[in-house]
Amino acid sequence: MINIEKKEFGMYKEEKIYKYELKGENGFQVNVLNLGGIITEIFVKNKEGKVKNVVLGYDNIEKYIDNKAYPGSVIGRTAGRTANASFYIDGTEYRLDKNSGKNSIHGGNQGFHTKIFDVKELENGIELSYTSPDGEEGYPGNLEFKIFYLLDKNRLTLKYEAISDKKTYVNPTNHSYFNLAGNTERNGDEQMLKIEADNVCELDVDSVPTGRFINVENTAFDLRKGSVIKKGIEKGHPQFEITRAYDHPFVLNSVEKGKPQITLFSEYSGIEMKVYTIENTVVIYTGNYLDDMPLFAGENDGNKNNRYLGVAVETQDFPNGINEKNFKTDPLNAGEKYHSKTVYEFNIAR
């Protein structure tokens, strides 16, 4: 049982936006807006027992509107870039909104990050729901979409469910930026990142996966034993000429039950986040252009964010999977239930 408080946060399109404060044990708290399912804060105790916010966010609604960093948002119907803003299902071409050059990114101009969700309070969290109409942003089918934010001791579980009345393409994620130092007291690239992945997806010049894989051995992408993010960026890779730093789908290895695929750690705070997912990839985006975004709340100096201030850990199926045979991504059949689950576990590393 958790405590839930609902507070007015602002106005958007003449509707009131609310923040839902999900309060768990030992100071653990997750705050979520009904706009875009945005996670505005995650509060965790550091090694000194002080409660710190470990995600990047804002204290007013205006900075979330039209924010191209998508901080904390639900991304949908599909995450990442879709090549040429189109795909085929059973011989029919579906054209999406172009909002990343010739491509579509993160569900289009009016993706799930812009939607006002219906909210249902549960014993252990909240359920957010939205019905995306047939043809919205070019996607086929009336899609009934739900995301659950569930708290259990030191764990936040994100569960996604969807069902469509037409065969369609669905691949959502969450776009929170983590900085486990807390309150942005240190830069995000000082964190240690470990990923159980032998391969990453190669990207073309538009940052769209090509369908080919890069083996991580002896490269900046080899995070299997853990590495400070800054060291990997400094080591460099030809792919970084496209992306500036990490912005790649890591192909997750199979792991033993109960073991995380991804671990993020701040030596400064002692906070460790273990991530467990049923998805095939995690897109790691190290906030390569956050210095161009509105100033986040926290301990920032001046009027500009630091580059690499936080790292997005976007668990999902292969981006652009619908267009790449090598990714073996199937559309969602009409009447079939889509399901995805990711767990974020917070601890003090000993």
- Are the beta carbons of 150 and 20 closer than 8 angstroms? no
Q: Ramachandran region of residue 123, left (φ > 0), alpha (ψ -120 to 50) or beta?
A: alpha
**Matching residue, tokens 């909104």:** 97
Report whether the peptide linkage leading into residue 77 is cis, meaning its omega lies within 30 degrees of zero. yes
- Are the beta carbons of 64 and 93 closer than 8 angstroms? no
Distance of CA 99 to the CA centre of its chain: 18
Rounded-to-integer distance, Cα 321 and Cα 171, Å: 9
**Matching residue, tokens 């309150």:** 183
Q: Is 237 annotated as a binding residue?
A: no
Contacts of 14 (CB under 8 A, 6+ apart): none
Q: How many CB atoms lie within 10 A of CB 300?
A: 15
Q: Is 248 annotated as a binding residue?
A: no
- Are the beta carbons of 244 and 215 closer than 8 angstroms? no
Q: Is 339 annotated as a binding residue?
A: no
Q: Which of the residues are catalytic?
A: 175, 314
DSSP letters along 166-214, please? S-B--B-EE-PEE-TTSTT-S-GGGSEEEE-EEEEEEE-TTS-EEEEEE
Q: Is 106 annotated as a binding residue?
A: no
95 beta partners: 86
**Binding site, residues?**
175-177, 247
**Binding site for beta-D-galactose, residues?**
175-177, 247
